[in-house]
Amino acid sequence: MAGWIYYLDLAGVVVFALSGVVLACRSSMDPFGMLVLAAATGIGGGTLRDLLLGVRPVFWINEPSYLWVILATVSLSLVGFRHIHRLSRGLLPVLDAFGLALFTVIGAHKALLLGHPNIVAVLMGLLTGVAGGMVRDILARRVPMVLRQEIYATASIAGGCTYAFLMLWASHPLAITLAITVTLTIRLSAIHWHLALPVFAWVTIPVAPRKQDRACEELRPDTTAQPRRQKARVRIIAPGKRTKHR
């Protein structure tokens, strides 16, 4: 791996590990819990990627510096514990977007380097970018962010497709730069303008009785008649809107 890609990978590990520390603090975990969540977020996606690609041993066994970076991140977070909540509100989502972009490109790059087709490269980029966060959220007993309305995995897929396509004819540095730019643009736009994907959900819509039905009900002597059954339909709920029952 080229030297500058290696350092970009380490930078992404620091950012993701820091997000694991923040979630551990919100979940009232002890220092060991912080270390576990930081490691799961920082190297979880890359570990799963290497296992699926058949790379033995996984990257952090050959390069223990990843483990030292995670340990240093957690140690510094313990020292500056009182300042972590400031990062979580403003700076951390932006840094997380940079980590997502870096990990997406690195995952796709490794798959192409091993001779796999473009679609596999896009999938490995997605896995490297989001799998660690999924493991982190599951350990903290939360629904993973990638499975909710957040435009997160979509940005990773777009960046991975950009990288795989540009590698067919463009130079390697240009492909990496444009892929990172695409991922960052989509993710940061979603953060700034609160963009989200639509949600599919079952919505029960009560149906008003027709005039003939109301007339028949007035003629019935039994006032304990069962109400009409409500129809359940599938609707797409736009982000930020609530369904009104009529």
pLDDT tens for residues 86-129?
A: 666 777 888 889 999 999 999 999 999 999 999 999 999 999 99
pTM value is 0.81
Q: What is the distance between the alpha carbons of residues 75 and 94, in angstroms, rounded to a whole number?
A: 22
Low-confidence winner among 40-54, 109-123, 179-193, 225-239 (lowest mean pLDDT): 225-239
Instruction: Say what percent of the chain tops pLDDT 70.
Output: 78
Give residue-wise pLDDT tens across range 6-49: 888 899 999 999 999 989 988 999 999 999 999 999 999 999 99
User: What is the rounded average pLDDT of the residues 146-165?
Assistant: 91
Residue 245, pLDDT score: 46
Within 10 Å of residue 123's Cβ, how many Cβ atoms? 19
Q: What is the distance between the alpha carbons of residues 122 and 129, in angstroms, rounded to a whole number?
A: 11
Instruction: Say what percent of the chain tops pLDDT 90.
Output: 58
What DSSP string runs through 130-162?
Answer: HHHHHHHHHHTT---GGGSSBS-HHHHHHHHHH
* Average pLDDT of the chain, as a whole number: 84
Residue 83, pLDDT score: 75
Q: How confident is the model at residue 171 (pLDDT cuts 50, 70, 90)?
A: confident
Q: What is the distance between the alpha carbons of residues 22 and 124, in angstroms, rounded to a whole number?
A: 26
Give strand ranges (E) for the chain: 199-205, 231-237
Residue 46, pLDDT score: 96
Given the structure tokens 């060991």, which residue do they identify?
32
Q: Is the pLDDT of residue 70 over 80?
A: yes
Residues in contact with 167: Cβ distance below 8 Å, sequence separation at least 6, in sequence order = 112, 175
Residue 210, pLDDT score: 59
